[in-house]
């Protein structure tokens, strides 16, 4: 899933996916593509994702959307 929102005049992009039906990961991204924060939600609650893990997951998710967009929007 990808969504764009404007909160308090600031545009933010949210990328998220569900991993093996056990957790949802969300990445908060600035309009210029910088990762601001990441979190995971499980049945136990929501926790922050450590920076290194967040950056790796974000790059993987971003890569998926770039490949998807390239295939569907020539």
pLDDT by residue for the chain (74 residues), tens digit each?
667 777 777 767 776 777 676 888 888 888 788 898 999 988 899 999 999 999 998 888 888 877 877 776 65
* Cβ atoms 58, 50 nearer than 8 A: no
Tell me the whole-structure pTM to 2 decimals: 0.69
The whole-number pLDDT of residue 60 equals 86
How is residue 20 written in tokens? Answer: 């093996």
Cα–Cα distance between 34 and 37 in angstroms, integer? Answer: 9
Per-residue model confidence (pLDDT) at position 30 = 81
pLDDT value of position 65:
76
């Amino acid at each position: 899933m990808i969504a764009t929102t404007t909160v308090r005049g600031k545009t933010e992009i949210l990328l998220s996916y569900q991993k093996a039906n056990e957790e949802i990961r969300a990445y908060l991204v600035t309009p210029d593509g910088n990762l601001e924060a990441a979190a995971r939600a499980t049945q136990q609650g929501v926790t922050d994702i450590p920076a290194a893990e967040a950056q790796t997951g974000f790059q993987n998710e971003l890569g998926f959307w770039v490949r998807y967009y390239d295939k569907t929007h020539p």
